[in-house]
Amino acid sequence: MKKEIIKTEKIGLSQKAFVFNKDGKFLTMRRTKTAPSNPLKWDLPGGDVEFGEDPIKSIIREIKEETGFTVKSPTPFDVKGYVYPHKNYWVTVAFKAFNPKGKLSVSWEHDLYKWVTIDEFLKLKLPIKLRKFAITLKRSVK
């Protein structure tokens, strides 16, 4: 059977990071009620890779912009592709980062934050791709 090829309007690359503290918990932040996507769902630091931008530098930049934290050597551990309405196709890379430096300063995109375990995170209201990344991460630490 031949697979149908869908022409897309836009192809994008985004990233999300599980930023772990010294206690083994990672930062999650809730998106505001006015967020253009996934309002009031819990999120991770990250965002879109800009055209021509190095992906590692991009996730370091996004973590800094959204949390105030500086991290070194984030490590990718999973990747997912999704087709969204209006024929947009996004590939998202999940990273792990450890021992953030600096003072937490949550960006305007989020209204709450907390440090959680993977099991605590999975009990929150999450976008599907973040849930899938957390499950992959959980399986990798067993």
Give the residue extent of every domain in the chain: 10-140
Residue labelled with tokens 């370091």: 60
pLDDT in tens, 8-62: 678 899 999 999 999 999 999 999 999 888 999 999 999 999 999 999 999 999 9
pLDDT at 83 over 80: yes
Asked if 56 contacts 74 with a C-beta cutoff of 8 angstroms, the reply is yes
Q: How far is CA 99 from the centre of its chain?
A: 17
Asked if 108 contacts 30 with a C-beta cutoff of 8 angstroms, the reply is no
The pLDDT of residue 84 is 78
> Is domain 10-140 annotated with CATH 3.40.1160.10?
no
- The reported pTM is 0.90
Look at residue 127 and give its three-state secondary structure.
coil
